[in-house]
Amino acid sequence: MSGLVKILLYFVASVALSLLVAPLVIKIMRKLKAKQTVLGYVKQHEHKSGTPTMGGFIFLLPTIVFSLVEFQRFSLVAAALSAGFCVLGFLDDFIKIRYARNLGLKPYQKIIGQLGLSFAAGWFAYASKDVGSAINLPFSTFTLNMSWGIIPFVMLVYVATTNCVNLTDGLDGLAGYTSVAYFLWFAILVYFIYDDAVKAGNSEYAKEALSLCVFSVSMLGGLLGYLVFNGYPAKIMMGDTGSLALGAACASVAVFSKNPLLIVTSGIMYVLSGISVILQVLYYKLTKKRIFLMAPHGRGRADADICEGDMNFVGRKVVVYGAGASGICAYELLREKGARAIVYDDDPSRDRATNSVGVFKDADIIVLSPGVNPNKDFLLDARLENKIVTSELNLASSVCAAEQIAVTGTNGKTTTTMLIDHILKRAGIHSHAVGNIGVPFSSIADKLDATETAVIEASSYQLENSVGFSPEIAVLLNVKPDHMTRHLTMKNYENAKANIFRAQSESDYLVYNADDDIVRNMASEAASQKVPFSTEHIEPSGAYVSSDFLCFRGNPIVPVDEIDFKGEELQNALAAVATCMIKGVSAFCTASALADFKRPSYRRQLVAIAEGVYVYNDSKSTNVSACLCACTSVGDCVLMLGGRKGEENFDELFSKLPSNVKAITVQGENAETILKSAKTFGFKNIRKHDDLQSAIASAFELAKKFKTESILFSPASKSFDLYANFEERAKKFDSQIADYLAKR
């Protein structure tokens, strides 16, 4: 068989083998949760978070296999060195994944490993009569004899090449594409070296040259197979496991063919990446300014020390915008991580805060608290300057080793979050409810270990700047018009909510409301495993109501009449059931926890029973959809509406008002708007009042008149007309009820 035919056969075989093993490698990495980590700081890279990594095994396997088949010194040593660097990269990747750290091996550990392997390469070159101490000078017939100096020179070539290839790969995955051209070029070059040896009658050297050519085409074929799965949208990334092995392979074919200087031209992208990083780092250290908006050359980040998702906060200037609870906790977390953290707030009187916009000018990272509007001009300018702008949620998630369950939706977030946390605790799982529920995630994120679970209530304000957020389980309850003053359009609001699942991988889960048209359409975009829940029909792959039982995948869990969830509120219970069953909680634990769950304050909370009438405080109802949900959860009632005049559509409320609402009282800024909608839809049993006290007295009169069993305070409005928040409004309602009953 001619050498050319053999080379072509090896090439075809390596492509085939890489295509064959790639799905298996991807499956294994997903199962092991060996995922690409991107903190969400850069829009063009955030979608890659959650992509399986360590894909270097795909192209390295055929290279090693066919090098063993050829069994010549050049191919065997090249394969061994590539495998050695692969192990080094694997250790780096494994430490990040196993211990949920942003950094793997320490820099000195990685350098020691590289130097050791590079010394072995240099010694082999020096001791081998077929390589020796001479190197070819490019584009000439001259050679340079380096004597024993070949050893440190080869060490330099290996260390520089492996690190430059690693930088080139980065988050963009450029190393795969550029290396195809590199190995094609060297395969051709080494084939001519082989052909010359054959013609010269040097059969021993011809065998070695042919084996090196086989090594090159095997790597070339393996890379082509890998790129089928690495192309957009990437199903796997090579990680340090692949990039360090690839760099060693690049150095090996150049050194063993006596053409190491050709790396400068044939690997020009590697060289440019390395140079741009060196210049960027040196210039920034000296001036605190950047030469390039993006470095390494051809990549999507301006910060040279962010690679494969690594984030080192030590010494970096981080501005936390917002001096509320979340902002202060983020600030303290960053200080613990060694960052030069500063808190900015529009109100300079707040603790630890400055209101000097100048602090943003030389910031490396900007962390936004949930209450901060991200559309301010200087924040938009920061993004244009390629600064990192992220959220407190993303920051906390990136340093948290615990499994993460995130819950969002227009209504029901807090109840569902607390219910999931309650069930998990009942099952003996160390669970922590955090986020919008009132405990900032960043206050405990780095204190949790891999045996614990964080159940995160995530609002749209938190999610809109958390594009790379990737919880193991995402829960999407419902999406109704809300917060339009902040998000401006419904599409923007939906996009913010969708960030809860966009970065998930196929090993993660999305628990979603199949009864909500918007949610169902959003869920169709998810790459994760979808688990629906429904109160309207049976969902064989999820949670549903059947024969008055909450069920999961065909198994009854708990009777509906044994839990404190009625009407649309059953959706919250179903979401919690699906989530906890996915986690492996038993049906018995789930049922018992559901039965004794105490709902959070001011969510259809029973506050009094007077004159045979149940009085419910649902002050958390700040929109029409929440109010309608509450109405379906009680019997015949008098509904108390009203609050701040804003974006709520009360035509929707009256068009969908259930028949159990017998009368309504209104008060607040939007009272006239509510009355107008009631008139439009012919609802006559409605009274307007100037204050809450008179509205309560009227509600009791109406309850007696219409013989209703309950009074439901569910304002369907924001509270900011008279109160700081819904909690203050709720407490005012409780005290007014107590005063009214005391006077009876």
User: What pLDDT digit, counting tens, does each position of 445-492 carry?
Assistant: 999 998 999 999 998 888 988 878 889 999 999 998 777 667 778 888
Q: 622: closest CA among 725, 693, 537?
A: 725
- In the chain, residues under CATH classification 3.90.190.20 are 605-742
pTM of the model: 0.55
- Looking at domain 317-392, its CATH architecture is 3-Layer(aba) Sandwich (3.40)
End-to-end CA distance of the chain: 106
The CATH label, of 3.90.190.20, 1.20.1740.10, 3.90.1170.50, 3.30.300.170, for the domain at 605-742 is: 3.90.190.20
pLDDT of 288 above 50: no
C-alpha 557/C-alpha 543 separation (Å) is: 10
Partner residues linked to 343 by β-bridges: 320, 353
* pLDDT at site 8: 95
pLDDT of 680 above 60: yes
For the segment 81-92, the average pLDDT, to the nearest whole number, is 94
Check residue 600 and report its DSSP letter.
P
C-alpha 60/C-alpha 40 separation (Å) is: 30
Cβ partners under 8 Å of residue 688, min gap 6: 665, 666, 667, 671, 672, 675
- In the chain, residues under CATH classification 3.40.50.720 are 317-392
For the segment 623-649, the average pLDDT, to the nearest whole number, is 86
- Output the CA torsion sign for 718, 723, 727, 733: negative
C-alpha 248/C-alpha 566 separation (Å) is: 63
Partner residues linked to 389 by β-bridges: 366
- Percent with pLDDT over 70 in the chain: 89
C-alpha 27/C-alpha 21 separation (Å) is: 10
The DSSP secondary structure of 63-110, one letter per residue, reads HHHHHHHH--HHHHHHHHHHHHHHHHHHHHHHHHHHTT-S--S-HHHH
C-alpha 411/C-alpha 518 separation (Å) is: 14
Q: What is the pLDDT confidence band of residue 375, given thresholds at 50, 70 and 90? A: confident
Phi, psi of 481 (to 5 degrees): -55, 125
Cβ partners under 8 Å of residue 233, min gap 6: 47
Q: What is the pLDDT confidence band of residue 29, given thresholds at 50, 70 and 90? A: confident
Choose the weakest-confidence range: 268-282, 323-337, 586-600. 268-282
* pLDDT at site 291: 58
* pLDDT at site 99: 55
Per DSSP, helices labelled H in 464-563 are 484-487, 490-498, 517-523
The percent helix, strand, coil of the chain (3-state, each to 5) is 50, 15, 35
pLDDT of 309 above 50: no
For the segment 5-20, the average pLDDT, to the nearest whole number, is 95
- Cα 108–Cα 113–Cα 116 angle in degrees, nearest 5: 120
- CB atoms under 10 Å from CB of 207, counted, come to 21
pLDDT of 317 above 50: yes
C-alpha 575/C-alpha 497 separation (Å) is: 16
Tokens standing for residue 726: 């819904």
Choose the weakest-confidence range: 155-169, 282-296, 654-668. 282-296
Partner residues linked to 555 by β-bridges: 552
* pLDDT at site 198: 93
Does domain 401-595 bear CATH number 3.40.1190.10?
Answer: yes
For helices 239-256 and 56-70, angle between their N-to-C axes, nearest 10 degrees: 40
Q: 159: closest CA among 44, 247, 41, 280?
A: 247
Residue located via tokens 């988050």: 171
Residue located via tokens 């070339």: 220
pLDDT tens-digit map of 256-277: 999 999 999 999 988 988 888 7
Q: Mean pLDDT, the chain, as a whole number?
A: 86
Phi, psi of 451 (to 5 degrees): -90, -5
- Percent with pLDDT over 90 in the chain: 53
Choose the weakest-confidence range: 36-50, 109-123, 237-251. 36-50
Residue located via tokens 């509205």: 695
C-alpha 509/C-alpha 521 separation (Å) is: 16
Residue located via tokens 């995630």: 441
* pLDDT at site 85: 96
Tokens standing for residue 322: 């917002």
- CB atoms under 10 Å from CB of 551, counted, come to 21
* pLDDT at site 493: 87
* pLDDT at site 314: 80
- In the chain, residues under CATH classification 3.40.1190.10 are 401-595
